[in-house]
Structure 1
Amino acid sequence: MTVAVETGIWQLDPTASAVALRHRTMWGLVNVKGTLAAVGGRGEVAADGTATGTVTLDVASLDTKNAKRDTHLRSADFFDADNHPEITFAVRGAELRGGDTAQVDGQLTVRGISRPHTLTARVTSADAEALTLEAEFTVDRAEFGMGWNQLGMIRGLTTVTAALRFTRAQA
């Protein structure tokens, strides 16, 4: 599928968007999965087809279906939600690369620490009024000051999966 995305301002639809995390723990034996339910953002597509914008995740909305674990993940050992309530991905540039894929260059900020991050997103639907992007990428939590690792239980990268639906903002 070859897509063309309309120029203008696009607002993220939080009711039709989802962001999930997956990380192997317990020496690689257990997969911990969670969602970040509160997601927001907006973007702008320029006349040349490039895009910029921001996606914001509310750390307090993290849900792994285990209240004790969620409280610990929100603590200073991990996300430090009291001091850093949001995770942001600021898109510095996104460009369609033929077909339905886009290279997205941006800056990921977690716990107040920002790092450049590039990922590939797939446009799964696009028309004049709505656009859906899907992406899966990995993040090294240690790069963002999340080094807590009791008994060496947590190893490897965290996988982030996102399905983001944007609708055209009203002029």
Structure 2
Amino acid sequence: MTTDAESIQNLYTSGQYEIDADRSSISFQGRSLWGMMPVRGRFDDFAGTGRLRGGGEVTGQLVIDVPSLRTGMAKRDRHLTSQDFFHADRYPIITFTLAEVRFLPSDMVVVEGSLQVKDVVKQVSLSATLHAPDSESVHIGCRKLFDRTEFDISANQLGMVSNEVVIDAQLRWTRSD
């Protein structure tokens, strides 16, 4: 699939898009017990809106509900959303605000934007796959390794928790106008 600026206008329908949460997922994986045990989880509640304009210009925002974090262990979930890590009572959402999408000559794109976790905002660049399953939706998938301490998620009793966390987002955006 070619995705130069001209073909973008033909492949993807301009308009307003929303995340189809039933066909999307945001998951994460870190390590605990001094790196010996993987810890996997997901966020159950998230939403997003975006707009695609002629010429391939894209804007949008993704909002993740921190209290919806699930790892399969209620006690661990409470700890991760506590003041030791995400402090969800004070910072209940994570926000990604899209600044730019650069289309590459394949099914790959580079997504640029700002990620806010707690009161820390960082500019991030994400390599992602992009495809249109039909004329009314777009699927974007990406995996990114983050250092959680850069976002003030720094609790680490006895050095048991790895600083590196992989985020995997598989997002289906459906035209809403």
TM category, shorter: over 0.9
State the distance in 1 between where 2:166 and 2:66 align: 16
Residue equivalent to 1:32: 39
What is the number of equivalent residue pairs in this alignment? 170
Deviates more, 1:147-156 or 1:66-75: 147-156
Residue equivalent to 2:2: 2
Give structure 2 stretches of 5+ with no counterpart: 4-10
State the distance in 2 between where 1:52 and 1:139 align: 23
User: Taking every aligned residue pair, what percent have the same amino acid on both sides?
Assistant: 35
Instruction: Give the Å deviation of 1:45.
Output: 1.2
State the distance in 1 between where 2:59 and 2:114 align: 11
**Counterparts in 2 of 1:1-171, with a 5 A limit?**
1-2=1-2, 4-170=11-177
Asked if structure 2 preserves the Cα contact closer than 8 Å seen for 1:60 and 1:81, the reply is yes
Which of structure 1's runs of 4+ aligned residues deviate more than 6 A?
A: none
State the distance in 2 between where 1:20 and 1:92 align: 23
TM-score by length of 1: 0.95
1:2 corresponds to which letter in structure 2?
A: T
Instruction: Give the Å deviation of 1:147.
Output: 1.2
2:54 corresponds to which letter in structure 1?
A: A
Instruction: Give the Å deviation of 1:126.
Output: 4.0
Asked if structure 2 preserves the Cα contact closer than 8 Å seen for 1:12 and 1:167, the reply is yes
Larger helix proportion of the pair? 2
